[in-house]
């Protein structure tokens, strides 16, 4: 692509305009076009200075501190700035191509620019591939900013030569004069006279009118970009429309041969030759002359040497595609080869056969319009392109994957599973080396030998997805090797690359929108958390927003399904679907990944009601009456198990309380009733612990439970507050059991304390029974969330308490001999934290802090140094009272009110989402009690359940299924 920027002038009075918008639009359009030349006059004022400043900013952003060291002929410098002949180039000549021409003394420099533009527009480059006899002219466009009467003349002559022109509206001077004339010809004299001033005469007006009339006659080749209202990314669309309109008008799109099998090489051979029709330059530009500082050509050279230009423009290689904002892209947006390649293949009816080449480039360039149309036409993405797709979009070429932490997407994937991430991001390089090695040995036939490696890349991407979410592979449904990629594979790539529009296109073409959308949302949410952990806030926000989009789409699907057919919508929440090796149902997957909105949806709630009441009446009174009408369903319902389990739990608490209050002592073994109490508690605890282990590790997984890894199940189990309370109660009960029977003290004091503490925790654990209640459930959730705030507060307060306590002790009891002497209950640390801790609640203890005489203490040094059991009396110190006053002010007015404010915020937050949170926790209870048997009766059925474990290959259930 060639952009010719004109408009340098001295004849008009300048006025300020949005130059930064034009600079951004120019560079963005240049990057969209692949390898691009920007022609400008090379002056140090006017439009030339604007273009140079834009190019300098582009170099600084593209190459950062290496901008001054990267030469113009470097392959990575895709946008090249070229100054025109005879003008003063920028001092940094190594950054600007300077086309130095020795012209005849009578040669007009402006005329040379036009001749050069015409010459460029007449040159052709191979299109699609050098193996296909199809060529297109080099796309060139003139961008007109500001300008004078010579600029208007230049535009008029260029339009006659069928060169499109884009006028930058809002830049003033000649550019705005042209647009004003095209809108209202009667205002020409007034506006032109103001611009030209006293030098404007009738002769000039006549000449100007002729040029403007010529421009108006070719208005179909004129595009307008408004710097005051248009988005900078829109310029590429305007340029593309102007070029396509120009070529269509001139009918210069010609082919000299048809696309036939004999004209097409094998795909493996085409891989070595990229098929992009962009002008390239691997060396210094020598167009009939020299580069700045080079040797001088013949002095009589007026026009460029055609062989030199042909050499420059005939080269082409792969361009680094720029990711466009699809909001401003259209079929004629740059790069233009999308438009013509699609049109050409469609006319020859070869789109399905060779369209994968265009689909590959469209995916990289984020051209969603072409991706959508190509997929609609049945174009299949080839498997061998998948590795290159991952490498060009995810792999960081400038980052050392094994050495540095680049904090990009590939690095995040590396932290999840290094081997699979390396295979996904870097396998293409290894495969390319193998291909090149085979070519040197003349043994390259096809890529079939590498198809197995390509399939491993696709499986590695799916494995990364499962690893992110913590799932095991549930089975492979592929039927042998494949050469084409499923739409779901492209969708997974779009998720990792965070291509929102392409992800939506591919998602709509999957078999199951709901589960696939939930998996996509969960993966993006996990990636967002990973990015946030490494402080990549922008990347984390992008992933989070993308995840929210998928979750909203799933909610919209559920709304539509429920309105159309509520019964099937409710049943669908339990249907298992396999997505990337993850087999799960929508409700189960949403619950396992904490998707509160999905779980709280009407479809999910009604599905849970069916499970909770076992398809009986979803109300307590009719449900209880069904015990006589449908006893089998009643006793098999999770609600019945839930109630029966907590009835047995309450009986256990009664027995446990009687045992703790009366049976732990010297007369223990003489009380037969005490043995009954104790044994019941032990059996109940053993049965309940076994059920908790089953729920945690899934060895006896219930219906609809996903194939999650054991570590993921353990994390999910420990995330639940009530499960932590369960584990604490089991730990205390087991500890009390060992202390009672294996380390009994004289009066069983320690055992009694452990049993009592275990009983206290179990009473707290019994509160879970109220979690399913619609009114009391949210209250328990608030208490749990406020407990988290309290723990954060205590983490801060402990350092304040320790600091103040140390000051108290050092000045009230100076030169204390030891802190850790004696039994642990007599350690001095308890005295240190005692007084400041109780001061948090308003207990002042002035007698101690003021050093007044207390009973039971002594000031005799010889006594308390030899006998640490005798307390030492505190000494009077006025600074202790002062510090205590400040501490009381700080703790009671700041710290305590801070935790109250935290509680208030948590209360409002939970209250706002109370229904949603309650429904989610209710789903947890329903899943737990779907196949849970009450303790201790579950011990009786444990052997049968182990024999029928679904995870055992020889289990009875699998035998019945024929597995």
In this predicted structure, the answer to whether residue 299 has a pLDDT above a threshold of 70 is no
Q: CB-side exposure of 904: number of CA atoms within 13 Å? A: 6
Averaging pLDDT over each range in 305-319, 730-744, 866-880, which range is the top one?
730-744
Q: What is the mean pLDDT of residues 374-385?
A: 84
Calpha distance 25→143 (Å, rounded): 11
Q: What is the mean pLDDT of residues 147-160?
A: 90
Calpha distance 467→526 (Å, rounded): 11
Helical axes 173-183 vs 188-196, angle rounded to 10°: 170
Q: What is the pLDDT of residue 495?
A: 92
Q: What is the mean pLDDT of residues 746-757?
A: 79
Averaging pLDDT over each range in 198-207, 413-422, 508-517, which range is the top one?
508-517
Q: What is the pLDDT of residues 897-950, one digit of tens each?
A: 888 888 888 888 888 888 888 888 888 888 888 777 777 777 777 777 767 665
Q: Point out which residues pair with 79 in neighbouring strands.
A: 36
Percent share of the chain, pLDDT over 70: 73
Calpha distance 487→581 (Å, rounded): 15
Q: What is the mean pLDDT of residues 35-61?
A: 86
Q: What is the pLDDT of residue 122?
A: 83
Calpha distance 358→339 (Å, rounded): 10
Q: What is the pLDDT of residue 351?
A: 81
In this predicted structure, the answer to whether residue 595 has a pLDDT above a threshold of 80 is yes
Q: Identify the weakest region by mean pLDDT among 171-185, 282-296, 513-527, 851-865.
A: 282-296
Q: Label residue 279 by pLDDT band (50, 70, 90).
A: very low
Count other C-beta atoms under 10 Å from residue 758's C-beta: 24
Residues 6+ apart with CB under 8 A from 814: 875
In this predicted structure, the answer to whether residue 796 has a pLDDT above a threshold of 80 is yes
What's the whole-model pTM score? 0.78
Q: What is the pLDDT of residue 559?
A: 93
Q: What is the pLDDT of residue 104?
A: 38
Percent share of the chain, pLDDT over 90: 12
Q: What is the pLDDT of residue 147?
A: 87
Q: Which is more confidently placed, 590 or 705?
A: 590
Q: Identify the weakest region by mean pLDDT among 391-395, 418-422, 764-768.
A: 418-422
Q: What is the pLDDT of residue 26?
A: 92
Q: What is the mean pLDDT of residues 397-414?
A: 65
Q: What is the pLDDT of residue 319?
A: 45
Helical axes 188-196 vs 202-217, angle rounded to 10°: 120
Q: What is the pLDDT of residue 405?
A: 60
Mean pLDDT of the chain: 75
Q: What is the DSSP string of 151-218?
A: HHHHHHHHHHTT--EEEEETS-HHHHHHHHHHH-GGGHHHHHHHHHGGG--HHHHHHHHHHHHHHHHT
Tokens standing for residue 890: 């700080």
Q: Which is more confidently placed, 744 or 78?
A: 78
Q: What is the pLDDT of residues 838-848, one digit of tens each?
A: 888 888 888 78
In this predicted structure, the answer to whether residue 449 has a pLDDT above a threshold of 50 is no
Q: What is the pLDDT of residues 115-139, one digit of tens each?
A: 888 888 888 776 655 445 567 788 8
Q: What is the pLDDT of residues 899-908, one digit of tens each?
A: 888 888 888 8
Alpha helices per DSSP H over 565-601: 566-572, 586-592, 596-599
Q: What is the pLDDT of residues 62-111, one digit of tens each?
A: 777 777 767 666 667 778 888 765 444 443 433 444 443 333 334 455 67
In this predicted structure, the answer to whether residue 808 has a pLDDT above a threshold of 90 is no
Phi-psi region of 304 (alpha: psi -120 to 50; beta: other; left: phi over 0): beta
Which pairing describes strands 135-137 and 124-126: parallel, antiparallel, or unpaired?
Answer: antiparallel
In this predicted structure, the answer to whether residue 30 has a pLDDT above a threshold of 60 is yes
């Amino acid at each position: 692509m060639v952009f010719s920027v004109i408009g340098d002038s001295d004849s008009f009075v300048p006025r300020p305009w949005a130059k930064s918008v034009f600079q951004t639009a120019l560079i963005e359009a240049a990057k969209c076009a692949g390898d691009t030349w920007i022609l400008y006059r090379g002056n140090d004022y006017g439009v030339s200075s604007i273009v140079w400043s834009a190019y300098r900013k582009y170099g600084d952003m593209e190459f950062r501190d290496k901008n001054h060291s990267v030469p113009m002929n470097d392959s990575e410098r895709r946008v090249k700035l070229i100054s025109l002949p005879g003008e003063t180039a920028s001092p940094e000549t190594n950054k600007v191509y300077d086309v130095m021409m020795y012209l005849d003394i009578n040669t007009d420099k402006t005329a040379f620019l036009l001749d050069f533009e015409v010459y460029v527009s007449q040159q052709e480059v191979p299109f699609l591939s050098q193996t296909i006899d199809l060529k297109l002219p080099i796309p060139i466009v003139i961008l007109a900013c500001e300008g004078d009467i010579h600029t208007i003349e230049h535009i008029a002559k260029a339009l006659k030569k069928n060169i499109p022109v884009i006028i930058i509206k809002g830049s003033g001077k000649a550019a705005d004069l042209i647009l004003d004339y095209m809108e209202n010809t009667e205002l020409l004299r007034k506006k032109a006279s103001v611009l030209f001033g006293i030098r404007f005469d009738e002769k000039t007006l006549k000449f100007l009118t002729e040029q403007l009339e010529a421009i108006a006659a070719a208005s179909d080749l004129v595009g307008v970009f408004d710097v005051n209202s248009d988005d900078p990314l829109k310029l590429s669309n305007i340029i593309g429309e102007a070029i396509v309109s120009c070529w269509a008008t001139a009918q210069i799109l010609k082919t000299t041969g048809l696309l036939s099998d004999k004209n097409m090489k094998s795909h493996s051979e085409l891989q070595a030759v990229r098929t992009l029709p962009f002008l390239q330059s691997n060396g210094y530009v020598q167009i009939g002359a020299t580069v700045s500082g080079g040797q001088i050509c013949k002095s009589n050279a007026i026009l460029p040497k055609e062989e030199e230009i042909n050499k420059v423009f005939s080269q082409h290689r792969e361009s680094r595609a720029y990711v466009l904002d699809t909001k401003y892209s259209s079929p004629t947006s740059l790069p233009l080869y999308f438009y013509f390649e699609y049109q050409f293949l469609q006319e020859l009816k070869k789109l399905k056969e060779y369209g994968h080449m265009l689909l590959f480039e469209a995916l990289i360039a984020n051209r969603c319009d072409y991706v959508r149309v190509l997929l609609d036409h049945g174009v299949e993405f080839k498997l061998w392109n998948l590795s290159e797709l991952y490498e060009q979009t995810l792999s960081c070429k400038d980052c050392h994957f094994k050495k540095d932490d680049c904090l990009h997407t590939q690095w995040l994937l590396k932290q999840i599973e290094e081997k699979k991430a390396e295979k996904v991001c870097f396998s293409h390089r290894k495969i390319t080396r193998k291909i090149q090695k085979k070519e040197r040995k003349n043994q390259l036939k096809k890529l079939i030998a590498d198809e197995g490696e390509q399939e491993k890349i696709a499986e590695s991407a799916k494995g990364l997805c499962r690893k992110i979410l913590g799932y095991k592979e549930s089975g492979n449904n592929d039927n042998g090797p494949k050469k084409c990629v499923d739409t779901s594979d492209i969708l997974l790539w779009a998720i990792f690359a965070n291509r929102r529009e392409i992800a939506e296109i591919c998602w709509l073409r999957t078999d199951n929108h709901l589960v696939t959308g939930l998996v996509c949302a969960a993966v993006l949410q996990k990636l967002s958390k990973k990015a946030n952990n490494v402080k990549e806030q922008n990347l984390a926000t992008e992933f989070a927003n993308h995840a929210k989009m998928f979750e909203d789409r799933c909610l919209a699907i559920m709304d539509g399904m429920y309105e159309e057919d509520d019964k099937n919508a409710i049943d669908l929440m339990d249907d298992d679907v396999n997505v990337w090796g993850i087999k799960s149902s929508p409700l189960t997957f949403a619950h396992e990944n904490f998707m509160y909105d999905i779980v709280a949806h009407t479809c999910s709630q009604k599905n849970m009601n069916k499970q909770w009441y076992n398809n009986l009446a979803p109300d307590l009174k009719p449900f209880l009456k069904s015990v006589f009408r449908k006893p089998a369903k009643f006793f098999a319902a999770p609600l019945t198990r839930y109630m029966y389990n907590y009835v047995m739990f309450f009986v256990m608490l009664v027995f446990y309380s009687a045992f703790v209050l009366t049976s732990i002592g010297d007369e223990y073994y003489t009380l037969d009733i005490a043995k009954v109490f104790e044994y019941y508690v032990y059996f109940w605890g053993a049965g309940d612990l076994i059920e908790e282990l089953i729920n945690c590790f899934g060895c006896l997984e219930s219906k609809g439970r996903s194939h999650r890894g054991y570590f993921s199940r353990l994390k999910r189990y420990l995330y639940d507050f009530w499960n932590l309370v369960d584990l604490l109660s089991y730990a205390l009960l087991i500890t009390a059991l060992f202390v009672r029977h294996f380390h009994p003290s004289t009066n069983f004091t320690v055992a009694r304390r452990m049993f009592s503490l275990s009983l206290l925790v179990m009473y707290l654990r019994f509160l879970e029974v109220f979690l399913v209640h619609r009114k009391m459930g949210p209250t328990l959730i608030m208490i749990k969330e406020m407990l988290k705030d309290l723990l954060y507060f205590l983490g801060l307060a402990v350092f304040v308490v320790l600091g103040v306590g140390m000051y108290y002790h050092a000045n009230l009891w100076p030169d204390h001999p030891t802190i850790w002497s004696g039994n642990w209950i007599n350690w001095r640390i308890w005295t240190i934290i005692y007084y400041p801790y109780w001061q948090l609640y308003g207990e002042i203890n002035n007698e101690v802090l003021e050093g007044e005489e207390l009973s039971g203490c002594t000031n005799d040094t010889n006594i308390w140094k030899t006998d640490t059991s005798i307390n030492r009396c505190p000494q009077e110190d006025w600074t202790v009272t002062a510090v205590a006053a400040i501490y009381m002010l700080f703790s009671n007015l700041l710290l305590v009110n801070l935790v109250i404010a935290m509680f208030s915020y948590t209360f409002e937050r939970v209250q706002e989402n109370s229904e949603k949170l309650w429904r989610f926790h209710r789903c947890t209870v329903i899943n737990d009690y779907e196949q849970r048997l009450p303790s201790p009766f579950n011990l009786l059925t444990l052997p049968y359940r182990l024999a029928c474990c679904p995870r055992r290959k020889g289990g009875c259930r699998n035998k019945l299924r024929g597995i």
